[in-house]
Amino acid sequence: MAQLLLPHTLHSLHMRRGAFIAQTDCPCHLALTELYCGISAVIKSDGTFRIALAIYDALYLRDFHDADVVINDKTGVDGLTDHLIDYLKSYERGKLAKFIGCGVLSSVLDHSKLICSRLWLELDIVPIVIPAPAETKHNGHWVAKPVDELADSMARKSIMSFGPSTIPRLQVGWHGVVQVSLSGLAHLARLQDYKGICSPGTWETMIFFADKIRERRIKMAFFSASPQGGGVPIARHALIRFASLLGLPITWQVPKPRRGVFGVTKTIKNILRGVEPNQRMEWLDRNSIIDWVTENAKRYWLIQDGPLLSPEEGGADIVIIDDLEMIGLIPLAKAAAPNRPVLYCSHIQMRNDLIARTGTLENDIWGFVWDHVKHADAFLTYPIQESLPAEAPREKVGYLSPTFDWFDGLNKSLSLWDTGFYTHFYNSQCYKFYMTELRWPSPSFESKQELFEIFSYYAEFRCLISDKNVNPPQLVICGNRSIDDPDRKLVYEDARRDLEHVYRRFQRDISIMILGERDQVLNILVRNSHVVLQVPSSEDDEFKVAQALHAGRPVITSPIDGTSIQIQDGVNGFIVRPGDRAAVAEHLMCLFTDKRLHEGMSVAARNGMSDELTTVGNAAAWMRTNSKIAIVGVGQVGGAVANAIILTSIANEVLLVDTDVSRRDSQVRDLADVAFSQKEDTNVRAATYAEAAQCDIIVITAGSRHFIGQPSMDYTDRNISIVRSIMKEMSPFRSDAIIIVVANPVDLLTSIVQELSGLPRHQVLGSGTFLESIRLRGIVASELKVAANSIDIYVLGVQGESQVTAWSMARLGGSPLSKAMPPKSLDFDKIADECRERAQMIMQVKGATPYGIASVVASTCRSILLDKRNVRPLSHFQPEFGCCFSLPALIGRQGVIGTIHLALDDAEDAHISDSAKKLKGRLESVKENVLEDN
């Protein structure tokens, strides 16, 4: 009898323990039952929602729930989601279960936009939206199904989307296209979720370029070696998910795998990174990679509608080669469409000191790689100058930081319940392979991937704390499987043997495990660690560092790989020399014994993530691949303008043009360092006049310096000649190009450029009195002791001696300046003179106002590229006078959208009219000669 009751007794103990855990919501060591569910809902005649929820295990219906949900003004449509989330959460805790996936009838999204993102982000349930089939004579029964049968069908269909590892099945379709998120059926996050994790500026930039890609129907195609496993596939999954939300034509292709190829490419990567000094490679092995890629290209990508065909034949407009394995595609892509941009992304931190030595294996292998890569239009790499090969021309180099997705399984926040589930899963794998299990909850542990060098760090650390009152933490070495890293299992086996023989005394405190396909397992290990150790000899470390920092974990890393660009030494982690065991151990001890230090670094890690490391920032970088600004004339002013544009990160490329080639090339090198130091992905390069004419914006700063005492006529005639020559060299222009004239006299030259360029008048404008207006605003703000942005005031008319301050329209907080602060009197004439004199003082000493004008030009470029529709006092065509001068203009992507006419007083209006007539007379006197010579 006792034996018959034993199972029931154990089950009762299990349930009582589970009930306690459910009440405290603590991490759970129990084996939870994995379940699936299906959701459907309809609106009843009385306006309430009838919802149905079917619950399945992998085979059978386990439970069912239905309810009427009343929607009122207080709860809104989200009441449906609230009810489902609350029920599923209480069901998990009451039944000791974990929901894996949920089928959601597509019509439910009409009633609740939040259901999918909340299922994923709050309950860690993969929501799969299943559309109802179109009604035909063969499936009309679908429409007739009651709500409970639909829910049952949704649950069964969701189960079919998961593989044996209870993760969504990865599918690769025709043309090798990776069908991310079950071809878009798995809805993990909304656009609004992404908007909340980045700055408004980054979001606006991304949205603008997304609209631009849709408008121009630009197709982008990524090519990488495998659809899963490493940091690059993880980032691409995130990018394609995000692009799908935006409705962008971005695809990701992978080849059919071939036995042995990944072993060869792994060897090549290790040689270039300097970690395989004794390795040898035959030419036959190298050629096997090219043969494999070429075969895939001919079979899948160069056929009808293939992405490598020319854009005119239906191929992609931009091709990105995203893996070293795929370098054989670069010559093929350029042969199919010579004018199409082909970009190569390098994800390897190469040892340039070894590559540069003639006769070395590294030099030999790099020669093989460069023979293919040199045909690409751009060489993209992490902003680490040491890993940039000397052969890569600086004008072709661009920088992209490693990125991660806040909302994927690796990085999203997980509840204690889900953390316990994945901890139990990890420990069950440890038990299966006779490995040390995690003591949970434990004081802390470190997470790191692949390298046994970390054993020595850990041993040194344990020696340091042996006489301290510190509970020894566990060490976890883990990583996910990867199809393109066939040696990973061997590495782990070697590490285990090393642990058993060399570090046997720490064996009970060290856990080594190759993780399965569940991203959340690595997520909970990193998120609940105390510190993350990253050493320089493994791939994809830069992605793991981003993951650790996002989770608020301090990181200890080495300075020779891509991880160190994210670490501020002593702020969010420590940077140590490779192999410096003493330094690593000392830093570990500090982080384990100094609570204040650890908390400070955790906060810095969590709050110091820049937008460029997120999916939104990465998407914006890829979307602005074709965004170009040309600077014509790169002297003092042109260099400052280029610098400001780089720092505002509004263009993918900045092209520098100048007749003085040595000065131009020096500026390219100097400004490329600016882009590198700021970790910007803006590419700075030298260009021809013809290339500049095809840019989105052309900024003309070329002109002679106006020396004190020099006759104004001589100065003007010389600059007219320079501008005329530039126009002749650049013509014809891209039809939608915008020209910004900065050279002086700006109004006269802007009028001439309008005549010579052949572009519509609204696409040619000058910097005008924008800088003078800003300068005046600052002086007035200083006099009144108020913030400058609370003052609205313009300098208008013909820039220079004839410019007019529009005092009649000056405003402070929306009120006329003369009435806003009656006790405070302003000497308007004195302030206007001071504004003019400040400019003259700068000009006398420097010959120009480079930084001031650079800031307003960069602001204008931003307004144009992002279609901001700001009002700026810029020089543009005035039909009444037949010339260009400054009035408030509405600026957008088309250039000048319109003029804002102000109700000026009679004196101001007359002054502007008189100066405009004089400008018109001067323009007429030079126009005939200019047009005849041109």
**Per-residue pLDDT, 478:** 76
Which residues make up the CATH 3.30.420.40 domain(s) of the chain?
27-134+142-168
Regarding the domain delimited by 416-609, which CATH topology (the fold level of the hierarchy) does it fall under?
Answer: Rossmann fold (3.40.50)
Indicate the angle between helix axes 231-246 and 615-623, nearest 10 degrees. Answer: 70
**Per-residue pLDDT, 622:** 77
**Per-residue pLDDT, 706:** 60
809-844 residues labelled b (16+ CB within 10 A) or e (exposed) = bbebeeeebeebeeeeebeeeebbeebbebbeebbe
Do residues 437 and 511 lie in contact, with contact meaning Cβ atoms separated by under 8 Å? yes
| Residue 502: CB atoms within 10 Å | 13
**Per-residue pLDDT, 619:** 81
pTM: 0.72
- With residue 399 as reference, give the H or E element that holds it: strand 397-399
**Per-residue pLDDT, 681:** 65
Which residues make up the CATH 3.40.50.2000 domain(s) of the chain?
191-399, 416-609
Q: Compute mean pLDDT per 10 residues along the chain, 934 residues long, and list them.
A: 38 51 55 92 82 93 90 62 92 92 92 91 95 60 78 94 88 91 92 90 84 86 87 89 93 89 78 68 73 93 93 92 91 92 85 78 84 88 70 74 85 89 85 74 44 77 83 81 56 72 82 79 86 66 77 82 68 84 89 91 84 79 78 94 88 90 91 74 86 93 69 74 92 92 93 93 95 90 83 90 88 77 69 81 80 93 86 94 94 91 90 91 78 56
**Per-residue pLDDT, 37:** 97
The Cα–Cα gap between 327 and 372 comes to 6
For domain 191-399, give its CATH number from 2.102.10.10, 3.40.50.620, 3.40.50.300, 3.40.50.2000: 3.40.50.2000
The Cα–Cα gap between 770 and 887 comes to 10
Tell me which residue has tokens 């047009």. Answer: 931
pLDDT in tens, 651-668: 888 999 999 999 999 999
The closest alpha carbon to 493, from 507, 513, 476, belongs to 513
Tell me which residue has tokens 């982690």. Answer: 573
**Per-residue pLDDT, 383:** 67
**Per-residue pLDDT, 626:** 67
Name the class of domain 27-134+142-168: alpha beta
Do residues 337 and 310 lie in contact, with contact meaning Cβ atoms separated by under 8 Å? yes
Long-range contacts of 360-368 (CB under 8 A, 24+ apart): 361/271, 361/277, 361/279, 361/280, 361/281, 362/271, 362/272, 362/274, 365/268, 365/271, 365/272, 365/281, 365/286, 366/272, 366/391, 368/286
Q: What is the DSSP string of 99-131?
A: EEEEEEEGGGGGT-SSHHHHHHHHH--EEEEEP
Long-range contacts of 665-673 (CB under 8 A, 24+ apart): 667/634, 667/638, 667/639, 667/642, 668/394, 668/395, 669/394, 670/639, 671/639, 671/642, 671/643, 671/646, 672/394, 672/397
- With residue 764 as reference, give the H or E element that holds it: strand 764-766
Conformation bin of residue 797: beta by default, left when phi > 0, alpha when psi is -120 to 50: left
Within 13 Å of residue 637, how many CA atoms lie on the same side as its CB? 23
Q: What is the DSSP string of 330-363?
A: HHHHHHH-TTS-EEEE------HHHHTSTTSHHH
